[in-house]
Amino acid sequence: MNDLVYLFGGAVLIASILTSISIWAPRKVVVRMTAFVVSVLFVPLSYAGFAALLSKPKPVSLEWVRASTEEANVLGSTIQEGEAIYVWLQMPNISEPRAYMLPWSLDLAKQLQEARRKAEEQGTGLGMRLPFEHSWDKQEPKFYPLPQPALPPKETPEAPMHLQHPSTDA
């Protein structure tokens, strides 16, 4: 949501600069007023466009900022056969999950279903390697079940006083 404020602010700033240039340009009043009206209409239209995009999955090919992400946890997924694979990813160092759309691939859909099945059997989550990189390397699967979490360390009770070694500090 924070990105929306900055993107919208940038769009309004650019529209304001263009409007001021068009108003102060040596043109007829009709041309200057038309530029002003178009700029005023641009502001709510851009806000509505940005707000509508918030609920839509982003194509992975358009993710430039986090393109170097090595791994992500898959919180949810939906396969639309012949259309796309939709995933809800939780990435490291980002507090809120993000929705992405992968291009349709039968092999990738099979990988996702198999990894999801294994993760359910093991009672673990689902992970994704290089979520924003299109790799021709088919040896390493893109989706995989997360490993079992490590058990917490066992706490050993303290030995009774009569079983402890005497101190050599005298």
- CA neighbor of 86 nearest in space, from 131, 118, 144: 131
Which value, to the nearest 10 degrees, does the dihedral of the CA atoms of residues 102, 107, 111, 114 take?
130
pLDDT at 47: 86
- CA neighbor of 85 nearest in space, from 61, 62, 59: 59
pLDDT at 138: 60
pLDDT at 20: 87
Flag whether pLDDT at 149 surpasses 80.
no
d(CA 17, CA 23): 10
